[in-house]
Copies of this chain bind each other. A is one copy, B any other.
Amino acid sequence: MLKIAVLGYGYWGPNVVRNFSSIKGVKVMSICDLNDTALKRAKNDYPYLDVSTDCKRIIKSSNIDIVAIVTPVSTHYQLAKEALINGKHIFVEKPFTLKSSEAEELIELAGRKHLKIMVDHTFLFTGAVRKIKELIDSNVLGNLYYYDSTRINLGLFQHDVNVIWDLAPHDLSIMDYIVKERPLAISAIGAGHFACGLENIAYVVVHFNNNMIAHFNINWISPVKIRTTLIGGQKKMLIWNDLETDEKIKIYDKGIRVRNRQGIYKLLVEYRCGNMWSPPIDHSEALKIEAGYFVDCILKDKTPINDGCAGLRIVKMLEAADRSMKRKGDLIKL
């Protein structure tokens, strides 16, 4: 039986505790938070668990196998490092770290100590993303032309990071998972409108080979909530609307074929307009699947799809997007 301690019981921590509690083969032992309200809530929810403010003690405890780090991103590196040093597997909230150098150090450290890192890219474990991955891997869409994501709403305003660091990890990690090609470069443009100076709206473009392009529209100050991703391929096109309950994914047998017309130098454009279909999506809670998968990876010594390297790739893209945004959209090579 693996034993886990959860650091951080703010917005996401309770979900981590609840889901690891429901998994066989792992037992939640401790919850740690520095905030009074969070502590009181944790004690009320789990009167029989060890709830405290003493992270250090917990990280060092010989009774703990896994440390879940669900704290602000600025604290990830230090907590993760201590946990690894003390021989714990780590489950780290996204984004992995604030700097790619920190992520690299943690990966190296975990490798040396034969410990697992899982970065909590929860979306990879949703029924929708697993279905899209399956469709792309089985080449239903054909070669990809574009990936176009919109994630906007009147969001909880983050005080410490801009909208890219807050929202883009979701979509970058999804793209990183389902697109096989590696991105070449990133550019980003953003704007902030309040005293804090942080960007609350941003447009990020990821450049690939073969004119494949990915675009991310992220916005904290939209009056409406939109969570839509379009993926255009040579053979088929797909739309994923995460706000739909029943028909989250629709696949369109639509497309364009451009040929040179015989003998002359004119283009012949042909449209294809066939069926649309929507497959059923598994509605299991993503975090529960992810928690079970992490336990499985530890027990069977498998490398998670969302390991430290995946976390590092996302941090590198976030860094590049930030740098590009500072320079008004300059192309930053990856």
Q: Majority SS of interface residues in chain A?
A: strand
CB contact under 8 A between A223 and B252, given known A189-B187, A191-B146, A258-B195 = yes
Is B217 within 8 A of A239, CB to CB?
no
A-B contact pairs, 12 of them (CB 8 A): A146-B191, A150-B150, A152-B230, A154-B271, A191-B212, A195-B259, A196-B267, A201-B213, A275-B277, A277-B278, A329-B330, A330-B330
Instruction: Point out the residue from B223, B245, B273 that lies within 8 Å of A237, measured CB to CB.
Output: B223
Q: Does A280 have its Cβ within 8 Å of any Cβ on chain B? A: yes
Is B279 within 8 A of A201, CB to CB?
no
Is A225 within 8 A of B245, CB to CB?
yes
Using a CB-CB cutoff of 8 Å, which residues 219-259 of chain A contact chain B? 219-225, 230, 232, 234, 237-239, 243, 245-247, 250, 252, 254-256, 258-259
Q: Does A334 have its Cβ within 8 Å of any Cβ on chain B? A: no
Residues of B within 8 A of A277 (CB): 275-278
10 A-B pairs closest in CB distance: A223-B252, A223-B237, A194-B258, A277-B277, A157-B269, A276-B278, A191-B213, A191-B211, A223-B254, A145-B193
Shortest Cβ gap from A244 to chain B (Å): 11
Q: Does A25 have its Cβ within 8 Å of any Cβ on chain B? A: no
Shortest Cβ gap from A248 to chain B (Å): 11
Q: Does A331 have its Cβ within 8 Å of any Cβ on chain B? A: yes
Residues of B within 8 A of A224 (CB): 230, 239, 246, 252
Q: What is the size, in residues, of chain A's interface with B at 8 Å between Cβ atoms? A: 70
Q: Does A294 have its Cβ within 8 Å of any Cβ on chain B? A: no
Residues of B within 8 A of A189 (CB): 187, 205, 207, 213
Using a CB-CB cutoff of 8 Å, which residues 166-223 of chain A contact chain B? 187, 189-196, 200-201, 203, 205, 207, 211-213, 215, 217, 219-223
Is B267 within 8 A of A217, CB to CB?
no
Q: Does A104 have its Cβ within 8 Å of any Cβ on chain B? A: no
Shortest Cβ gap from A21 to chain B (Å): 10
> How far is A330 from B327 in the complex, measured between Cα atoms in Å?
10
Shortest Cβ gap from A259 to chain B (Å): 8
Is B278 within 8 A of A275, CB to CB?
yes
Is A232 within 8 A of B222, CB to CB?
yes
